[in-house]
Amino acid sequence: MEIGLEAKDIDMFIETKIRSIVKSISWRILATLTTVSLVFIFFHRIDIALELGGVEIVAKMFIYYFHERAWDKIKFGKVAISPFVVWLTGLPKSGKTTIGNNLFRLLQKEGIKVQRLDSKEVRALFPETGFTREARDEHIKRIGYLTSILEQNGVSSVASFVSPYKESRDFVRKNTKNFVEVYVKASVETCIKRDKEGMYERALKGEIINFTGVSDVYEEPTEAEIVVDTEKLTPDEAAQKIYKYLKKKFLNVRRL
């Protein structure tokens, strides 16, 4: 299945530190020259400077406006940030949702335009979606299509879905530009211990069919960009590990 859309490169921009510093210095020089010039032109006396403070404030407001407009047209110091898709996959109760929520908050603090997509919430929008292999593949491809649309429009996404089959995950990878697969690793035994809702117990009794890790296979990622073992890492530590990877690969543009 191919996505029949022509991808467009839509980048976000943030300012580097050096750009902000140069802007601040240039503004202060301009503001100081404005003050000195006003005093000299009108009075030729330095002691009148304080009386012209009010005039200077008004003048600075207008000058700063045009100063900012001019800098908006200058490309120096602007670094493009391409949107990305973080795809968290793993067994039910492996910790995907909690880690995804933590990562989402970290990216929001960074000022990144990002959308959160989680299996439980998205499933509620498609209540008729089944749990057969075919239905699950179609569901993941549908979400993958959505993430590609977000990416094309400059919005990153953090998606957490069991997505047990390699084929559907590869579909999302193929149809997005900056795909980051995160394998949220945990054993079935550990996931059972975490399952306060008793889903694994019901699946073991045969009350739930096609349950990943019990009556249906989970195809472990072999080429994931990141692996977070939630038997060794807390959700916060796992989110930080993913965040550091993203910062190094996509967000590390604030260096001088």
pLDDT tens-digit map of 197-224: 999 999 999 999 999 999 999 999 999 9
φ, ψ of residue 85 in degrees (nearest 5)? -120, 115
User: CB of 149 within 8 A of CB of 189?
Assistant: no
Q: What angle do CA 184, 215, 203 make, to 5 degrees?
A: 90
Beta strands in 45-112 (DSSP E): 78-81, 85-89
Amino acid residing at 209:
I
Q: What is the 3-state secondary structure (H, E, C) of 189-246?
A: HHHHHHCCCCHHHHHHCCCCCCCECCCECCCCCCCCCEEEECCCCCHHHHHHHHHHHH
Q: What angle do CA 193, 165, 251 make, to 5 degrees?
A: 85
DSSP state of 85: E
pLDDT tens digits for range 21-54: 777 677 767 877 777 777 777 776 766 665 565 5
Q: Which three-class secondary structure state does DSSP give residue 249? A: helix
**Count of CB atoms situated within 10 Å of the CB of 54:** 9
Residues 183-203: b if buried by 16+ CB within 10 A, e if exposed: bbbbebebbbeeeeeebbeeb
**Count of CB atoms situated within 10 Å of the CB of 160:** 29
Q: pTM above the 0.75 mark?
A: no
Q: Which of 94, 157, 163, 168 is catalytic?
A: 163
Amino acid residing at 19:
R
**Catalytic residue list contains 37:** no
Instruction: Tell me the pairing of strands 78-81 and 12-15.
Output: antiparallel
Cα–Cα distance for residue pair 246/86, rounded to 1 Å: 9
pLDDT tens digits for range 161-176: 999 999 999 999 999 9
**Count of CB atoms situated within 10 Å of the CB of 209:** 11
Give me the residue spans of the domains in the chain.
12-78, 82-251
Of 89-93, 98-102, 117-121, where does mean pLDDT reach its minimum? 117-121
Q: Is residue 255 scored above 70 in pLDDT?
A: no
pLDDT over 70 percentage in the chain? 80
83 burial (CB, 10 Å; 0-12 / 13-18 / 19+) is buried
User: CB of 87 within 8 A of CB of 179?
Assistant: yes
Chosen CATH of 82-251 out of 3.30.70.1140, 3.20.20.70, 3.40.50.300, 3.40.190.10: 3.40.50.300
| Whole-number average pLDDT of the chain | 84
The arithmetic mean of pLDDT across residues 65-75, rounded, is 75
